[in-house]
């Protein structure tokens, strides 16, 4: 395939990497004069890369279709698994409450609360994503699981300037800062911020968010993308971040962490190992610290519910 035929929006592979990943072309000649180069983003991983246009060729259309189908299948499986986990956890909590009620230990507002009288209010997510396509997919996932979420498409380099105003506007329990990232070159010094495409932007956004809310349980932050500078993100104040072993992470990994946090009761801890092991790339791709859940149980259940008032969705 002639290099000149590569255009913005094309699905391509890199010949020098054995065509291992399918990318979408973000821009061509976006780095100024010199050998024509293209900026790329992964179709199913949160990876950004650049490559000489001469190293690119159009991806096989059938392979692109199959990758999209596999991504959709995997996302549907994630939703099913999360729903099953939520159901099992709710059943366990209800069983525990019934046992407590039998012995007269459960009292709320001066009266015993039965399982049928209780309902759960999950925490709210503010999801800031550098990729509009991934943001759309993530918002669909939140909706499928009944997670209140507000999504904003903001490029990584602008997230730090926008985050404090958005936190004041949305008042979320969980903040997700993500998009695309990568080590710029093979063999880059992992301890140098300059080795990463976007890690510095995510770190700055975490710091600004912590300036707004310094309590790690007051505002839970999930930050990073593929191969991000994990240690710097945690040091800046993220509860969970990518990527401890500088691997590629799945586009849904930050969402899986956020979903678990907002659906864990506020009187329980989200154990870091359980949350991380519930992601797709697991410990090579995500890490974090022990964090308190954000779901609150309310009584009594009414015919109108609370939609439209208070912590409404």
Q: Mean pLDDT throughout 21-35? A: 81
CA-wise closest residue to 134 among 222, 41, 67, 201? 41
Q: CA-CA distance, 287 to 264, in Å (whole number)?
A: 18
Distance separating the N- and C-terminal Cα atoms of the chain: 50
In the chain, the domains with their CATH numbers are: 3-59 (2.30.30.30), 115-298 (3.40.50.2300)
Q: CA-CA distance, 16 to 56, in Å (whole number)?
A: 9
Q: Is the predicted pLDDT of residue 105 greater than 70, yes or no?
A: no
Weakest-pLDDT range from 162-171, 212-221, 300-309: 300-309
Q: In this structure, what are the phi and psi dihedrals at residue 144, rounded to the nearest 5 degrees?
A: -60, -30
SS3 107: coil
SS3 133: helix
Rg over CA atoms, the chain: 22
Who contacts 301 (Cβ-Cβ below 8 Å, separation ≥6)?
A: 116, 117, 118, 119
Q: Show the beta-strand stretches assigned E in the chain.
A: 11-14, 23-28, 37-42, 48-52, 56-58, 119-121, 125-129, 149-153, 174-178, 220-223, 240-241, 269-270, 287-288, 291-292, 296-298
Residue with tokens 């063999």: 187
Q: Is the predicted pLDDT of residue 162 greater than 50, yes or no?
A: yes
Average pLDDT score over the chain: 87
Torsion of CA 241, 245, 251, 255, to 10 degrees: -30
Q: Mean pLDDT throughout 145-174? A: 97
Note the pLDDT of residue 127.
98
SS3 41: strand
Q: What is the DSSP letter of 198?
A: S
Note the pLDDT of residue 297.
81
1 to 27, 40, 126: CA distances (angstroms): 18, 17, 42
Q: Mean pLDDT throughout 16-33? A: 85
139 to 100, 129, 134, 312: CA distances (angstroms): 37, 11, 9, 17
Tell how strand 220-223 and strand 240-241 pair up: parallel
Q: CA-CA distance, 273 to 281, in Å (whole number)?
A: 13
Residues 242-279: tens digit of each pLDDT: 999 999 999 899 999 999 999 999 999 999 999 999 89
Q: CA-CA distance, 214 to 291, in Å (whole number)?
A: 14
């Amino acid at each position: 395939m002639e290099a000149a035929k590569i255009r913005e929006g094309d699905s391509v592979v890199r010949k020098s990497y054995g065509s291992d990943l399918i990318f979408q072309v973000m821009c061509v000649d976006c780095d100024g004069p010199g050998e024509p180069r293209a900026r790329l983003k992964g179709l199913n991983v949160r990876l950004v890369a650049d490559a000489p246009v001469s190293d690119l060729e159009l991806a096989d259309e059938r392979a692109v279709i199959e990758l999209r189908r596999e991504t959709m299948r995997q996302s549907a499986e994630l939703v099913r698994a999360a729903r099953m986990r939520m159901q099992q956890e709710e059943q366990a909590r209800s069983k525990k409450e019934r046992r407590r009620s039998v012995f007269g230990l459960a009292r709320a507002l001066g009266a015993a609360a039965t399982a049928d009288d209780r309902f759960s209010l999950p925490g709210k997510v503010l999801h800031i994503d550098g990729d509009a396509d991934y943001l759309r997919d993530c918002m669909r996932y939140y909706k499928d699981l009944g997670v209140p979420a507000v999504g904003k498409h903001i490029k990584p380099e602008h997230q730090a300037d926008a985050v404090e105003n958005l936190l004041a506007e949305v008042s979320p329990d969980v903040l997700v800062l993500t998009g695309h990232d990568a080590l710029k070159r093979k063999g880059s010094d992992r301890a140098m911020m300059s080795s990463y495409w976007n890690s510095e932007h995510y770190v700055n956004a975490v710091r600004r968010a912590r300036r707004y809310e310094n309590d790690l349980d007051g505002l839970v932050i999930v930050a990073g993308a593929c191969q991000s500078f994990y240690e710097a993100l945690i040091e800046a104040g993220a509860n969970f971040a990518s990527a401890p072993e500088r691997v590629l992470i799945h586009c849904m990994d930050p969402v899986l962490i956020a979903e678990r946090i907002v659906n864990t009761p506020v009187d329980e801890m989200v154990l870091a190992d359980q949350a991380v092991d519930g992601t797709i790339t697991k410990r090579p791709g995500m890490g974090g610290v022990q964090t308190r859940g954000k779901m609150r149980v309310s009584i009594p259940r009414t015919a109108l519910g609370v939609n439209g008032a208070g912590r409404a969705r």
